[in-house]
Structure formats: structure tokens, C-alpha cells
Amino acid sequence: VRRDSLGTIDRITIVTPDRPGTLSLLAGTLAAHNANVFGGVAHTRDDGTAIDVMHVGDALGRGIDERRWQRILAAIPQALSGEFDVDERLAATRATYHAVPRVQTATTVQVDNNDSEHYSIVEVHASDRLGLLYALTRTMHELALDIHLAKVDTIGAEVVDAFYVLRENGQRIERPDEIERIQSRIEQAVAAVDVGAD
């Protein structure tokens, strides 16, 4: 785990052996510390190494001090090894801090099998909110979707995230009923973020 300061935002780079749920655990750990992901890329090399590069800032709008950075950098390896309960800590964070009001954007979930030869691309547009990336990636993990590449981008109050995925059997998501089920589960997960924040 490495952190580089880029002025008003910071870059976190994580290199680790890939395992199911790595991106989800990283996103949840950041959210539990009120760190917003503004953009980033996560991918897995052919040798099974996961490399996640995230640009993050303070969800509270006042900057992340060195003490909080120390807690974040210590918690990431703990989360990856199962020693940091992301759900419990994120719930505590939501209970302590009130969400910043935001512009509401309709949630859309598209599954594209045309723009990549090997993967299905799950693209999500939604309003930015604390824990959204965690909710998205955890849901894909629960759906047994393997994320090979993620492109995360926050544009103002809107999130545009694209996930290049395969099913556990190495196949793309192509059956209409399966596409519809995945879209529905992800939309439900996005809606549940706000419920959990109350």
C-alpha cells in the first residue's frame, strides 16, 4: 500500500495477490474512513496480481489529516486479511457523520457486450454517495462476477463506473434474464446505500 499526495487529492496504490472481493474491501475501507474515491483504475495482471490505483479525497470536505491517513493505510491490509469488519465500521461512520446533500441523479445500469471482445462491461451511472463503490463491488462479488478491470470516475455529483467482468466460469453475461437480474440487483444495492445512511 502506498499513498502519494497530489495536492487537494491523494493517490493510493495497492498491489496484492488477487482474490475475490479485493476491490470491494478496498472501497469499503476507504468509505469507512470518510474517504471519497474520485477516480481510479483497478485491474488484475495475467500473473494474478491485483493493482488498484485510486484518487481519493475527504468526504467531509476539510481534508484528510495525517492521523486519519495512518488509520486508513493500516486498515487496508487488515481488511484484505479479514481483520477489519468493513460493514460494521461503515455503519458506524454513517451513524456518526451526516451525509452531504447532493444532486439526485437517476441510477442506470447497462450491460454491454459490444465494446469488449472478452468481457461484459457493467456500466453504472448514479448520484455520488458515501459507500457507493463498496455497494457496487460487493454486489458483483455476491453475484459471482469476477471484476477484471474497473474504471471509476466521479464527475461533480455523478458517478460513472465501468466494470469489465466475467462469470466464475469465465463466460460473459449474455442471457437477457441474467442481464436483467444483474441490473435489478445493482439498482437495489444503490438504493440501499441511502437507506443504510439514515
Closest to 135 in 3D by CA, of 159, 168, 113? 159
pLDDT (tens place) for every residue of the chain, 198 residues total: 999 998 889 999 999 998 888 999 999 999 999 999 999 999 999 899 999 999 999 988 888 999 999 999 999 999 999 999 999 999 888 887 655 545 678 899 999 999 999 999 999 999 988 899 999 999 999 999 999 999 999 887 889 999 999 998 999 999 999 999 999 999 999 999 865 444
- The three grid cell numbers given for residue 154, joined into one nine-digit string: 466521479
- Candidates 2, 37, 18, 16; CA nearest to 135 is 37
Q: Which three cell numbers stand for residue 147?
A: 471484476
pTM of the model: 0.85
Distances (CA, A) of 167 to 143, 170, 171: 8, 5, 5
Q: How far apart are CA 76 and CA 83, in angstroms?
A: 10
Residue pair 132/193 in contact by the 8 Å Cβ criterion: yes
For residue 194, how far is the Cα from the chain centroid?
Answer: 16
What distances in angstroms separate CA 179 from CA 2, 70, 106, 109, 112, one per listed residue?
37, 41, 19, 10, 10
In 3D space, the residue among 1, 2, 88, 14 whose CA is nearest the CA of residue 50 turns out to be 14
